Amino acid sequence: MSAQIPDLVASRVSDKAKRQLDIVAKFVEEECIPADPVFEAQIGEGASRWEHHPAIIEELKVKARALGLWNMFLPKGHYKESPGYTNLEYGLMAEWLGKSRTASEATNCAAPDTGNMEVLAKSAFLMTEPDVASSDARNIQLSMRKEGEEYVLNGSKWWSSGAGDPRCKVYIVMGKSDPNNKDPYKQQSVIIVPASTKGITIQRMLNVYGYDDAPHGHGHIVFNNVRVPASNLVLGEGRGFEIIQGRLGPGRIHHAMRSIGAAERALEWMLMRINDPKKTPFGKQLKQHGVILEWVAKSRIEIDAARLVVLNAAVRMDDLGPKASLKEIAQAKVLIPQMALTVIDRAVQAFGGAGVSQDTPLANMWAQIRTLRLADGPDEVHLQQMGRNENRRGAEVTQKIQAQKQKTEQLLKQHGVQLFQPGANIQHKL
Amino acid sequence: MSAQIPDLVASRVSDKAKRQLDIVAKFVEEECIPADPVFEAQIGEGASRWEHHPAIIEELKVKARALGLWNMFLPKGHYKESPGYTNLEYGLMAEWLGKSRTASEATNCAAPDTGNMEVLAKSAFLMTEPDVASSDARNIQLSMRKEGEEYVLNGSKWWSSGAGDPRCKVYIVMGKSDPNNKDPYKQQSVIIVPASTKGITIQRMLNVYGYDDAPHGHGHIVFNNVRVPASNLVLGEGRGFEIIQGRLGPGRIHHAMRSIGAAERALEWMLMRINDPKKTPFGKQLKQHGVILEWVAKSRIEIDAARLVVLNAAVRMDDLGPKASLKEIAQAKVLIPQMALTVIDRAVQAFGGAGVSQDTPLANMWAQIRTLRLADGPDEVHLQQMGRNENRRGAEVTQKIQAQKQKTEQLLKQHGVQLFQPGANIQHKL
Amino acid sequence: MSAQIPDLVASRVSDKAKRQLDIVAKFVEEECIPADPVFEAQIGEGASRWEHHPAIIEELKVKARALGLWNMFLPKGHYKESPGYTNLEYGLMAEWLGKSRTASEATNCAAPDTGNMEVLAKSAFLMTEPDVASSDARNIQLSMRKEGEEYVLNGSKWWSSGAGDPRCKVYIVMGKSDPNNKDPYKQQSVIIVPASTKGITIQRMLNVYGYDDAPHGHGHIVFNNVRVPASNLVLGEGRGFEIIQGRLGPGRIHHAMRSIGAAERALEWMLMRINDPKKTPFGKQLKQHGVILEWVAKSRIEIDAARLVVLNAAVRMDDLGPKASLKEIAQAKVLIPQMALTVIDRAVQAFGGAGVSQDTPLANMWAQIRTLRLADGPDEVHLQQMGRNENRRGAEVTQKIQAQKQKTEQLLKQHGVQLFQPGANIQHKL
Amino acid sequence: MSAQIPDLVASRVSDKAKRQLDIVAKFVEEECIPADPVFEAQIGEGASRWEHHPAIIEELKVKARALGLWNMFLPKGHYKESPGYTNLEYGLMAEWLGKSRTASEATNCAAPDTGNMEVLAKSAFLMTEPDVASSDARNIQLSMRKEGEEYVLNGSKWWSSGAGDPRCKVYIVMGKSDPNNKDPYKQQSVIIVPASTKGITIQRMLNVYGYDDAPHGHGHIVFNNVRVPASNLVLGEGRGFEIIQGRLGPGRIHHAMRSIGAAERALEWMLMRINDPKKTPFGKQLKQHGVILEWVAKSRIEIDAARLVVLNAAVRMDDLGPKASLKEIAQAKVLIPQMALTVIDRAVQAFGGAGVSQDTPLANMWAQIRTLRLADGPDEVHLQQMGRNENRRGAEVTQKIQAQKQKTEQLLKQHGVQLFQPGANIQHKL
């Protein structure tokens, strides 16, 4: 909550946002987290998991609206519904939302809509494809052939998050509209497709470890001669790349902050566990074991460092926009999930069997966050890109260091001294 | 298979075992692994997952028996049904069994029976309890009160693996029969309890990262005034500790070798992935990316090292018995699951979304092996114990090093030299 | 330089400080780094290393003063010589100073004086003792017995950094003045002792790996009935603890920022290496190897994250003072040296043999920073303390989570649903 | 000693070797380790460090010969001076030799001679070059031009270990004799060059983290028109590659086993430290701190696992020769130094300041072993090669897994079941 804002950013958070943050925190802790298991219970079992929406969500939404917690993610200045928060301010709120399975949806801040809201509500974004390395969007294969005033779509998509939800009515689909364009970044377009269009089949939903994430879910969807009016195109033909780039900036920051919230919650569960007076291996409570205390300390350090990294990216986006913040966003994208997985796994280990089971939120949180090391491209792809970017300084630093060495030579002469080299006078060689 | 036996142990593996190993390898690769998804399909959905047993298993069993693959784990010399393999030899076979979900059961070598066979087939071992740190068996609380010729059991157990299976007819239960005994290692007894005894309730089954592991499963079982004839006691009252200690040695080796098999299989899936010509991030196949090749190489090194650690423990057990091998067994217990998790997680990452989903065996294998860092006590408990054991040398090595220092002093005097200490002649101090 | 200030803090850095930062950066890169090998050459060999001071330093000092680079570390508001920078602002400068061996001294910002300036220039702080765990100041043993108007000091100190320098004229000594005081935090006092006082011997200088760090050095100093006027006491008897606490805050931040500078320099050397056209293992330049690019990317991420952690502590100190910033300072103290060692070691590895030798600054930087994991207490002591502090929340979070669970129970009842428990209806048990 | 031989290899160690091993162990612990500081003291200071040889070595040699400890490394069957030990047996002895700085030389088993003995005693092997990635021998540039019956050598070498010793009379030099040969593996030759040949200059000696390793040392040597009789060629022109390949196998095993000895010694020093009754942070001896006990336990596990890896390679070399053991040798080459560095660094940390200083053998051992991650090629080069080798199975395992999937399809049809796919029946899409 507002009392815990890192000092580094405190001065940039408005009083309004601070008040809102306190309300978010209280709402998440007192309303949403207790509602999470109810949500799961209401989803039910079997096929029905995909066919209805838990009533508890609607209750929470009513409460959220009453508290003024709605659409906090909507960027300042772009939408009339926007409550006017900066990326930094919403980032701080997103951390709290990330502690609960229901909180983001209850406040109308749920992914994928935080990325898609520019377009439409209750939508799923369909980009990833099963057969190619689609994290490089140039590899996308779903065909968008123009026929008259329509596009005809053929191909398949998976990891279409949210597609399982009965309320998901619209797909935002990235496809290849101009495969022969010489510029590989102009071959793709994005088009809006009603979910009920003929030729679309939800083939199945994908599991994440053993979780189906119903009713939201991750769809594997097939397009077979799906016809869509050309007027459904977003921005215009060949602008697909542009769209996803604009979309990813804030979304990645939101994901990262929610992951930090998850890590904080895992740490709190771990603290509960290690203070449990019934758990006394070697005759001492877990909190008296040095190894466990070190886990707690490292978790605290790692979470706090990660938060600063994300907030720095958020501030830069606020000041200079997403394009100027690609490096900072990529750092957050890579760093935070790995941190959160480490912290959560420590908590799992502290809990023993309960940690991997349905009795704590830990195993499920771990599985969710594990996908973030893959979503929108695996860590390794981002690291390669970042390595190349950093290496652009290569020639410049080489030149600088060479100049420093030359100046050293001059100074040595000038001062009449030589670098000491051991053994330089070895005489036994002759 | 036999051609891949590490050189270090090759001479200790009999020709008969080598032939058997080749048969096991072929059976697992050609029969069991293809049958794994069929097993899962036959389990079905919903409550029925716990109510029947997949027919494919019986088919595999017939094939296994015809190939002479039966009960390989039964210790040489103790059982007339034993095919007579050493721990080393069976260990090498267990690695192959670990690659498939069905192989161990198909060859009658399934956990928990590899640990329980000393007692009864189709049984579950009930030791862990939900409310205490039961990895230290002294903390066990399930009450076993003697009344006449019966014991009355009250309490609860969880992580009772195999208890979900409709064929599981017998529970081997560890309880506290003599809570006031001054020797905390004599308070426990083990008793055999028919699963159908009145007062027993399977409260629920526990998930592992969303997987229910049906029909085998991990039961949470409640005992409410359960009466069992005193004659069902194993070995005698107060001998519970002794029983679990004898039981854990070979079982831990089997678990470890199976985990190595799982890691090998994950590596093979990763190799398949990185040779997929359709996956070409940055315009190169994954196998041409240095980071990926390093994952492959490290996985190879780590698997091979881990195998030697387990086989060394197996050989020591063969030569000196489990009691003399506690250190080596503990090393395997801690080291192998961490190695396997690392290797499998690399494979998950190489696969991207498919890696966390139902489309590869990887996510499920990871979840299974994650529990091994907790089962029979978390890693940290074993490490503390091992650290203490190693530190028993503390006084002795201190004495030795002090003696070496004294001898150095003598030698320095004798040779008329002094240790060089920089700055020992600093004069500017006055 | 000023263009690279993290966005998160940019608004808190004054224009004056930004201008100064640019001057510092240029001075370090163009004057100090080239002078570093000259400094080493002028120290010479053998005993003379401790007997004179390299002339190049005085040249640099003249330049520094002319540029207005002097005493930047002196806290705003406490000293008339202070140029008036905040901890944040000086922290940013300290990063640049940390890239060069001579820069801190050339600008009169050298450790240990950044910590000791509150007292005296050209001094060494003598706290650590060879025979006890003196990172816990309660263990300090050097005896300070009061006799009339004098204190008589007996005992020994080591790791007295700066004591080797012929210009070091004063020791600031922490000793035990009141060993029987019931409050273990009131037993220590700090007293100022001229280095030339009778009874003081510099026994030797300590190496760090193979480096002697002459002429500064790390002294092992013996006190044998050393008499000092009682008026030399700092603050008053029994206030030793208080003094070192006040002293460590800013000093730790300075150390941490200098280490970040060292890591940045190591990264630049690595970039130079991987762009060397003569180094082509497997027929490709190092910069084309994915593993190397990943090192570059990870180094960039880790350095940037670490910097934010230190600057956050600096800002908190600026706003609330060191006492309120103990957590943030401790996080920086533990995190930064480990990060810097990792980055530098990658650079060493990229250089091969040159990396461990005198031909790059890397090996020496690594050794220097390795000591920071020990100085002022090993990492593990700080982690234990931080773990305990974090765990103070234990009872509170336990209560919160329990309340959340109770609310869940209420909600479940209210909505007439139950948590799904797999296998809860298993019937085969009877 | 012989009582500690891993069970896995015990049966392959002859009684003679076991007795010898006990003698080696006693000699190292009681004679060599105490002599190590005397050796250092006798080397002295300044230039004289390179000009004489410590007398203590000759004393140790006399003792060693009297105990029959001489040339143990000489391969069985190749030399009449060989005492007849297998690689496995000598490997076990080399572990003990690795605990002491003087033991290898005292028993005539010192590197580089363990690799060079095939050729000549008191020699240095000159392969590495300062300006190229010479770990790939094809990059070697030192020119060997034939003129009549002589070769004329021009170029420079560094990391010529042993070249500093006044007794080093012969250089074994790898150069490029046929730069235009189409086969890049036939361009190199090896020639024997007396150290006193005209045109040779020891330019300087290289430091390793501040240590000069005198008098042995690591030379940087320049060849300026150095003329050598063609008859000095080893094996014949163009056979340089062949020679270094044969040479590296046993040498790498020896290095690895010595590193394990160093790690064992570091662990013993750590045990001494944590049992020191004067070191009581937080009021407890170090041995009572869980974090420290975990370091001890992990060190024990890691050392034991590493030893098995090396011994497995040794056994394979014994059975099948070095060529058939390249994979196993490479695993040891990469794994062992990293393990030893980790163990030693833990010991350093346990010691605090003493750990990085001249007061323990730890810092020096760490620096020595750090070079093994670079010598004969950096880890990363070996990992790439190993990754590629492992990936040769790629096509085969792909085929196997595809066949398994096809068989699964058949079985599913045959059994009339389908894989369960969640959400496959979602109806809300229309």
Is the CB of C208 inside 8 Å of chain B's CB atoms?
Answer: no
Is D91 within 8 Å of D257 (Cβ atoms)?
A: yes
Interface contacts (A, D; CB < 8 Å): 91
Residue with tokens 């008259």: A148
How high is the mean pLDDT of chain C? 92
C393, part of any domain: no
Give percent above pLDDT 70 in chain A: 96
Q: Is residue D396 part of a domain?
A: no
B/e letters for C5-15, b = 16+ CB within 10 Å, e = fewer, are bbbbbeebbee
Q: Measured between alpha carbons, how far is A372 from C409 in angstroms, rounded to an integer?
A: 32
B218 and B260 part of one domain: no
pLDDT band at A136 (very low <50, low <70, confident <90, very high): confident
Nearest C-alpha of chain B: how many angstroms from C339? 21
CB contacts, 8 Å: B160 with chain C: none
| Rounded mean pLDDT, C366-381 | 94
Q: Is the pLDDT of residue A111 over 80?
A: no
User: Residue A148 belongs to a domain with what CATH number?
Assistant: 2.40.110.10
Same domain, residue pair D155 and D287: no
Cα dihedral C253, C254, C260, C261 in deg (nearest 10): 160
- Residue range A196-231, pLDDT digits in tens: 999 999 999 999 999 999 998 999 999 999 999 999
**Chain D contact for A52 (CB, 8 A cutoff):** no
| Chains contacting chain C through 3 or more C-beta pairs under 8 A | A, B, D
Asked if residue C208 has pLDDT above 90, the reply is yes
SS3 for D163-206 is CCCCCCCEEEEEEECCCCCCCCCCCEEEEEEECCCCCEEEEEEC
Residues C222, C249, single domain; the answer is no
Neighbours of chain A (3+ CB pairs under 8 A): B, C, D
The structure tokens listed for D247 are: 């040479």
Residue type, B201: T
The answer to whether the Cβ–Cβ distance between A34 and C418 falls below 8 Å is no
- A:284-313 residues touching chain B, CB 8 A cutoff: 289, 291-292
Q: Identify the pLDDT of residue D113.
A: 53
Domain boundary among B118, B142, B170: B118
Report the pLDDT value the prediction gives residue C133, as an integer from 0 to 100.
83
Query: What does the pLDDT profile of chain D (430 residues) look like in tens digits?
Result: 677 899 889 989 999 999 999 999 999 999 999 999 999 999 988 888 888 889 999 999 999 999 999 988 887 776 777 888 999 999 999 999 999 999 999 998 886 555 555 445 578 889 999 988 887 888 899 999 999 999 999 999 999 988 888 888 899 999 999 999 999 999 999 999 999 999 999 999 999 999 999 988 999 999 999 999 999 999 999 999 888 876 677 889 999 999 999 999 999 999 999 999 998 888 899 999 999 999 999 999 999 999 999 999 999 999 999 889 999 999 999 999 999 999 999 999 999 999 999 999 999 999 999 999 998 889 999 999 999 999 999 999 999 999 999 999 999 999 999 998 888 878 764 4
**Is residue A188 in a domain?**
yes
Percent of chain B with pLDDT over 70: 96
* Cβ-based contacts of C308 with chain A (< 8 Å): 8, 305, 308-309, 312
Chain B environment of C295 (Cβ under 8 Å): none
Assigned domain for C428 exists: no
User: pLDDT value at position A113?
Assistant: 53
Six-digit token string for C265: 């320099």
**pLDDT at residue number A118:** 43
User: Which residues of chain A lie closer than 8 angstroms to B45, CB-CB?
Assistant: 46
| Statement to judge: residues C149 and C109 lie in one domain | no
What whole-number distance in Å separates Cα of residue B369 and Cα of residue B341?
A: 7
Considering only residues C53 and A301, tell me which one the structure prediction assigns the higher pLDDT. Answer: A301
Q: Are residues D169 and D293 in the same domain?
A: no
Return all residues near C143 (Cβ < 8 A) that are at least 6 apart. Answer: C152, C153, C154, C155, C175, C176, C179
List phi, psi (to 5°) of B190.
-120, 135
- SS3 per-residue string spanning B316-380: HHHHHCCHHHHHHHHHHHHHHHHHHHHHHHHHHHHHCHHHHCCCCCHHHHHHHHHHHHCCCCCHH
Whether residues A144 and A84 fall in one domain: no
Model confidence band, residue B111 (pLDDT cutoffs 50, 70, 90): low
Pair (B129, B108) in one structural domain: no
Query: Which residues of chain A does D292 touch, with a Cβ-Cβ cutoff of 8 Å?
Result: 290
Q: Could you tell me if C384 lies within 8 Å of chain D, comparing CB atoms?
A: yes
Residue-range definition of the domain harbouring residue B359 = 239-377
Per the structure, the count of domains in chain A is 3
Express each pLDDT in C120-169 by its tens digit. 557 888 999 998 888 788 889 999 999 999 999 999 999 998 888 888 88
Is it the case that residue A117 has pLDDT exceeding 70?
Answer: no
Nearest CA in chain C to B168: C429
CB atoms within 10 A of CB C85: 24
The predicted-structure confidence for A9-64, as pLDDT tens digits, reads as follows 999 999 999 999 999 999 999 999 999 999 999 998 888 888 888 999 999 999 99
Which chains, if any, share at least 3 CB pairs under 8 A with chain B?
Answer: A, C, D
Identify whether C334 is part of a domain.
yes
The answer to whether the CB atoms of A9 and C8 lie below 8 A apart is yes
DSSP class of D395: H
The answer to whether residue C382 is domain-embedded is no
Those residues with Cβ within 8 angstroms of residue D333's Cβ, 6 or more apart along the chain or in another chain: D252, D255, D256, D376, D382
pLDDT level of residue B112 (50, 70, 90 thresholds)? low
Q: Residue A261 class from Cβ within 10 Å (0-12 exposed, 13-18 middle, 19+ buried)?
A: buried
Residue A123 has pLDDT above 90, yes or no: no
Convert the pLDDT of each residue in C178-188 to its tens digit.
999 999 999 99
Q: Does B426 touch chain C (CB under 8 A)?
A: yes
Judged by CB atoms closer than 8 Å, whether chains meet at A401 and C8 is answered as no
- CA D154, CA D149: separation in Å to the nearest integer? 17
Q: Collect all residues of chain D within an 8 Å Cβ-Cβ radius of residue C354.
A: 130
Does the interface ipTM go beyond 0.90?
A: yes
Task: Check residue C79 and give left, alpha or beta (phi > 0: left; psi -120 to 50: alpha).
Answer: beta
Query: Which residues of chain C neighbour A269 with C-beta distances below 8 Å?
Result: 401
pLDDT at A402 exceeding the cut of 90: yes
Same domain, residue pair B157 and B278: no
Query: Whole-angstrom Cα distance, residue B271 to residue B351?
Result: 10
Q: How far apart are CA B228 and CA C138, in angstroms?
A: 60
Suggest the residue from D334, D338, D404 to mutate for an interface test with chain B (most B CBs closer than 10 A): D404
Instruction: Determine the average pLDDT of the residues in B53-63.
Output: 94
Query: In one letter, which amino acid is D188?
Result: Q
Specify the pLDDT at position C428: 64
What's the pLDDT band for A430 if we cut at 50, 70, 90? very low
Contacting residues of D for C289, CB less than 8 Å apart: 380
Picking from A158, A293, A429 by the largest number of D CB atoms within 10 A of its own CB, the best residue to mutate is: A429
pLDDT value of position A31: 97
Q: D354 — contact with chain A (CB < 8 Å)?
A: no
Q: Are C374 and D355 in contact (CB under 8 A)?
A: yes
If asked whether residues C213 and C276 sit together in one domain, one would say: no
User: Is there a contact between A34 and C407 if contact means CB atoms under 8 Å apart?
Assistant: yes
- Condensed to tens digits (0 to 9), the pLDDT of residues B368-379 reads 999 999 988 899
Q: Does A430 touch chain D (CB under 8 A)?
A: yes
Q: Which of C352, C356, C378 faces D208 most closely, judged by CB atoms?
A: C356
Does any domain span residue B280?
yes
Give me D399's structure tokens: 């085929």
- Closest-CA residue of B relative to D297 is B387
Same-domain status, D269 and D380 = yes
Q: Does D412 touch chain C (CB under 8 A)?
A: no
What mean pLDDT is predicted for residues C250-260? 93
Determine, yes or no, domain membership for A217.
yes
Amino acid, res. C318: D
- Band (pLDDT 50/70/90 cuts) for residue B386 is very high
Report the CATH number that the domain containing residue D9 is assigned in CATH: 1.10.540.10
Chain B: residue whose CA lies nearest to A295: B380
**Residues facing C221 on adjacent strands:** C157, C202
Higher pLDDT, residue D1 or B382: B382
Please report which residue ranges of B86-133 form alpha helices under DSSP H.
87-97, 103-106, 113-116
CATH of the domain at D359: 1.20.140.10
Count of CB atoms situated within 10 Å of the CB of D405? 12
pLDDT value at residue B118: 43
Give yes or no for a contact between C378 and C338, defined as CB atoms under 8 angstroms apart: no
Q: Residue D82: its pLDDT value, please?
A: 81
Instruction: Establish if A205 touches chain D: CB-CB under 8 angstroms.
Output: yes
Tokens of B316: 């020591």
A68, A144: one domain:
no
Q: Is the pLDDT of residue A116 over 80?
A: no
Burial of A138 (0-12, 13-18, 19+ CB in 10 A): middle
B74-83 b/e with 16+ CB inside 10 Å = b? bbeeeeeebb
Euclidean distance between the first and the last CA atom of chain D, given in angstroms as a whole number: 77
Confidence check: pLDDT of A322 > 50: yes
List, for residues B167-226, the tens digit of each pLDDT value: 888 999 999 999 999 999 999 999 999 999 999 999 999 999 999 999 889 999 999 999
Task: Give residue C119's pLDDT band: very low, low, confident or very high (50, 70, 90).
Answer: very low
Answer whether B419 sits within 8 Å of D305, measured CB to CB: no
- Whole-number pLDDT of residue D188: 96
B384 contacts in chain A (CB < 8 Å): 282, 291
| Residues present in chain D in total | 430
3-state secondary structure of C145: strand
Q: What is the pTM of this model?
A: 0.96
pLDDT in tens, B248-300: 778 899 999 999 999 999 999 999 999 999 988 888 999 999 999 999 999 99
Could you tell me if A210 and B212 are in contact, meaning their C-beta atoms sit under 8 angstroms apart? Answer: yes
Between strands C143-147 and C150-161, the pairing is antiparallel
Choose one of D198, D233, D268: the last residue of a domain.
Answer: D233
Averaged pLDDT for residues B81-108: 93
**What is the nearest CA distance from A166 to chain B, expressed in angstroms?**
21
Three-state DSSP at D305 gives: helix
Instruction: Determine which helix (DSSP H) or strand (DSSP E) holds D218, and give its type and residue range.
Output: strand D218-229
Q: Do residue C163 and residue C273 come from a single domain?
A: no
D358 touches chain B (CB under 8 A): yes
Sign (positive/negative) of CA torsion B302, B303, B305, B310?
Answer: positive
| Cβ <8 Å between C415 and A38 | yes
Which of these three, D94, D116, D138, is where a domain ends?
D116
